[in-house]
Structure 1
Amino acid sequence: MSAAAVWSVDPRTGKPREQVGTEATAADVDRAVRAAHATREALADRAVRAAFLRTAADLLDASADEVVATADAETALGTPRLTGELARTSGQLRAFAAVVEDGAYLDVRIDLPDPAAVPPRPDLRRWKIPLGVVAVYAASNFPLAFSVPGGDTASALAAGCPVVVKAHPDHPATSELAAALLRRAAAETGLPEDVVVLVHGFDAGVELVRHPLVAAVGFTGSVRGGRALFDAAAARPVPIPFHGELGSLNPVVVTPGAVAERAEETGAGLAGSMTLGAGQFCTKPGFVLAPAGPDGDRFLAALTEGVARAGAAVLLDHRMRDAFVDGVTERAALDGVEAPVVPGAADAHAVTPGVLTVDAARLAAGEHALLLEECFGPVTVVARYADETEVTAVLGRLPGNLTATLHCADEDPAAPGLLAALTPLAGRVLVGGWPTGVAVAAAQHHGGPYPATTSTATSVGATAIERWLRPIAYQSTPQHLLPPELRDDNPLNVPRA
C-alpha cells in the first residue's frame, strides 16, 4: 500500500494547492529518529551550535518573501502578521545562540570538599547535559514561531538536542521550506543536516512519541490531541518528559473602578485583542468578568462596536471553521446567554466574530460549564457580575490558563484580592494591557496550570532551554576526566555558582 499524499490546502477556498510529499510510515519515522540520534556528538560543540542558530536565522530572513508568501497561502494569516512572526522567529534563534555562548544555562555549581562537614562533603561538580532527540509537534496557528523553526526547535537545538519535527497538516509546504533552510544552515556550519528532520502524518506523530530513542517532546495544539500524546509518553516502558501547550481560556477581570475610569478604552482594547489573528492566538482573552450597571454597559458597548467593525475572517482550515461555528451556536443556545454581536458562519469559508454575555450568577451557581471552556476563534464570553462574591465564585470554577488579566483603577481596593485570586490560575498575570503579545525575553513565562500546559516549564524565552536538559553531578572526579566547563581553570569561562 502506497503512503498517503500530503497536500497543501488554501483555507480561503478549501482547494488543494500542491502535493508536498507523503505521510511517513513507521519505518520512515524510525529512520528519521535514528538519523537525528546519530548527530548528537556533532552538536556537542557550543560554538558550532551558536553559529548554526545564527546561520538559520540569517537564511530565514534572506528567504522572507518566499517564506511569508508560502505561509500566507496555507494559513490566510496575512503578510503583515506573518512578516512579524518571521522576525520573531529569527530573533528567537539569535537569542538562543547568545544563550548558548553565555553558558549560564548549564547551571554549573561546584562544592569543594570539606572533611570537617557533618557528614563530610566530597568534591561535587554539577551541570546540565542534553536529553537526546526531541520530538516537536508543530502548531497550527503559528506556522513559524511555534512550528518547524520555532521556539521548541530553537531551544532544543540550543541545548544540544537533535530535533524531529512532526509537521502540522495546515502548513506542510511552509514546514518543508523551513526545514530545508534549517538543514542548509546545519550544512553551512559543518553539522550533519539530520540535526533537524521533518515528518508528516497523524500516524507518524503517534510513532514518534513512542520511539525508544526520543527523549522528550514539545507539543502545541488541542487538549484532546495533546492529552493523547501525553498519555502515550507516560505509558512508554521508559516514560519521557512531555511539554505540551493544550488550551487556555485566558480570563480577564474588569473592576468597577476600571470601567468608571476608562470603559470605552478597555472595551475597545478587548475587541482588538480577541479578534487579533481571527481569535486564533493561544492567549486570546476568551472569558471576561465585567461589572453590571451603567459603566459596565459603556464597556460592553465599546467592545461590541469594536468586534462588529472587525468583520469576517478566514480561519486556519475548514475543520476549525466548522468547530467554531458549532461551538458558538451551542453556547449561544444556552439559557440566559445573549449575543450583542452574533458569531458564526459568514460564508462557506469565513466566520464572523462575536460577543456572548451571561449573568455571572449563573456560572457561580455551576450552570453553563461550557462557557468556561476555550472556543478557538474570534469570540469572547462576558459574564456580568453584581459583586465581588460572584467574581470569586466564578474564578474558583476556572481551569488552568496561560494568562490571567486584571483591569483595575489606580489604588483600586479590590485589586490585591483579585490579583491573589488570579495568580493560581495562570503562568502569566497581567495588570492592564492584553495578553495576546508574548515577548521573547529572559523573564517571560509561557505556560500554566493544566490544561494550559502539561508541565511547569515555559516554551518562550531563554529558560525554555531547561526543558531539554538534565542535571548530573560528578563526585571526586580527577580534573583531567571532567568536562572543561567543570574544571578548576574554567577554560571556557562558563558562569558558575
Structure 2
Amino acid sequence: MFDAGFEVGQTLVADHRIRAVGFTGSRRGGTALMKIASERKQPIPVYAEMSSINPVILYPNALRSRGAEIGKSFVSSLTLGAGQFCTNPGLIIAVEGAGLDAFIESAAAALSESQAQTMLTGGIFDAYCNGVARLSSSSSVSQVAAGKDGTPHQAAAALFETTAAAFLANPELQEEVFGASGLIVRCRDDEELRRVVGSLEGQLTIALHVDAGDIGAASPMISQLELLAGRLLVNGFGTGVEVSPAMVHGGPYPATSDGRSTSVGTLAIYRFLRPVSYQDFPVDLLPAPLKKS
C-alpha cells in the first residue's frame, strides 16, 4: 500500500477484515499502526520494520591487514540505492589506531567521489537532509567526507565521526538517518568498544570484520550480538540479502515490532498463516489438501 498521507494506512489497519499487517517505514509510523491494531475489538499482529542502523564492528587485525579495502567496500554498501536499503550500514565501531585511520582515509576518498542520488520520495529526501544537518550541527560530531552535489532534489552521501564517550552520552546519535549517511565511533580500547555495543538498540544486522588474530576478541561477543540483531555476518555488509530458508530479515525492537519472524525468506509465509488442527475428522469433512489420495 502506498499513499500520500496517513489516512489510508490507518483505515486499513482498523478495518475488521484485515487480520495481519506488514509495514516498512519510520518508527513513528510503525508504532502508530501497532497502537491502532492493539486497540481493535479483535487485535491483530503488526509486522513493522522501522529503524535500524546496522552496526559494523571493525577489529584491529582486520583493520591492519585490509583497512583501506574495507573502507572502499563500506562506501559501496552505504551508498547502494541512495542508502535506502533497510540493512544499510549506518554505524562503524572500532578501536582507534593506524588501521582505523587507513579505513577512514579510504572511505573518505571513495565517498567524496560518490554521485548524489534521487531518493524515493520528497518526504524521504527532506528527512535525510534534516538528519544530515542534525549531525553536522552537533558539537560532538565532525564530518569526515561528503559526496558530490547533484540536482536540488538529489541527496549527497555523508560520513561523520565521533568518540565513544560522546556516543554514549548522546543517545540521539543512535537515531537512524535513512539514506547514505554513516557515523564512525572511535573507541579508546576494547572495553569502550564493548560499552558502545552494549548501548545499542535492536538491529536488523550486525557485521563483524575479523582476521584470524581477532577471533579471540570477537568470540565472547557473539552471544551478546545474538540478542541485538536478527542477522549476524562476518567480513561483509548487510545490504547483500538472499531469499532462502535460512534468511532472517528481522530483529529486536525497534528494528522490527516482532523479532520472532522474517520479512525476507521462505519463513515469511508464517506471518500470514494460522495453524488449525482437525481432530477426529471424518475424511469427507477434511479440507481437500488433507484428504488421502
Query: Which residue does 1:305 correspond to in 2?
Result: 109
In the alignment, is residue 282 of structure 1 matched against residue 86 of structure 2? yes
Query: Which residue does 1:418 correspond to in 2?
Result: 221
Q: Deviations over 1:447-475 (max 9, x none)?
A: 11011111121111111111111112222
**Judging changes above 3 Å, is the alpha-carbon distance between structure 1 residues 257 and 418 closer, same or farther for their aligned structure 2 residues?**
farther
> Is contact 1:253–1:289 with CA below 8 Å preserved after alignment?
yes
Which runs of 5 or more structure 2 residues have no equivalent in the other structure? none
- Find the partner of 2:162 among 355, 358, 372: 358
- Find the partner of 1:321 among 120, 125, 149: 125
Query: Which residue does 2:235 correspond to in 1?
Result: 432
- Find the partner of 2:2 among 163, 167, 173: 167
> Is contact 1:325–1:345 with CA below 8 Å preserved after alignment?
no
Cα distance, 1:295 vs. partner?
1.3
Q: SS of the counterpart of 2:275? A: strand
Supply the distance in 1 between the matched residues of 2:28 and 2:45 (Cα, whole angstroms). Answer: 18
Q: Deviations over 1:424-456 (max 9, x none)?
A: 111111011111121111111111101111112
- Find the partner of 1:221 among 18, 21, 25: 25
What letter corresponds to residue 395 of structure 1 in structure 2? V
Q: TM-score, normalised by structure 1?
A: 0.56
Q: TM-score, normalised by structure 2?
A: 0.94
Cα distance, 1:344 vs. partner?
9.7
Query: Which residue does 1:380 correspond to in 2?
Result: 182
Cα distance, 1:411 vs. partner?
4.5
Supply the distance in 1 between the matched residues of 2:148 and 2:163 (Cα, whole angstroms). Answer: 22
Query: Which residue does 2:70 correspond to in 1?
Result: 266
Once the two structures are superposed, the pairs formed by residues 23-38 of structure 1 within 5 Å of their partners are none
> Is contact 1:328–1:344 with CA below 8 Å preserved after alignment?
no
Percent of pairs identical after alignment? Answer: 40
Q: Deviations over 1:120-174 (max 9, x none)?
A: xxxxxxxxxxxxxxxxxxxxxxxxxxxxxxxxxxxxxxxxxxxxxx2244xxxxx
Superposition misfits of 4+ residues, deviation over 3 angstroms: 342-347, 484-487
Once the two structures are superposed, the pairs formed by residues 127-206 of structure 1 within 5 Å of their partners are 166-169=1-4, 202-206=6-10
Q: SS of the counterpart of 1:214? A: coil
> Is contact 2:114–2:147 with CA below 8 Å preserved after alignment?
no
Number of residue equivalences: 291
Cα distance, 1:404 vs. partner?
0.6
In the alignment, is residue 336 of structure 1 matched against residue 171 of structure 2? no
> Is contact 1:343–1:379 with CA below 8 Å preserved after alignment?
no
> Is contact 2:113–2:148 with CA below 8 Å preserved after alignment?
no
Supply the distance in 2 between the matched residues of 1:344 and 1:401 (Cα, whole angstroms). Answer: 29
> Is contact 1:399–1:450 with CA below 8 Å preserved after alignment?
yes
Supply the distance in 1 between the matched residues of 2:224 and 2:107 (Cα, whole angstroms). Answer: 25
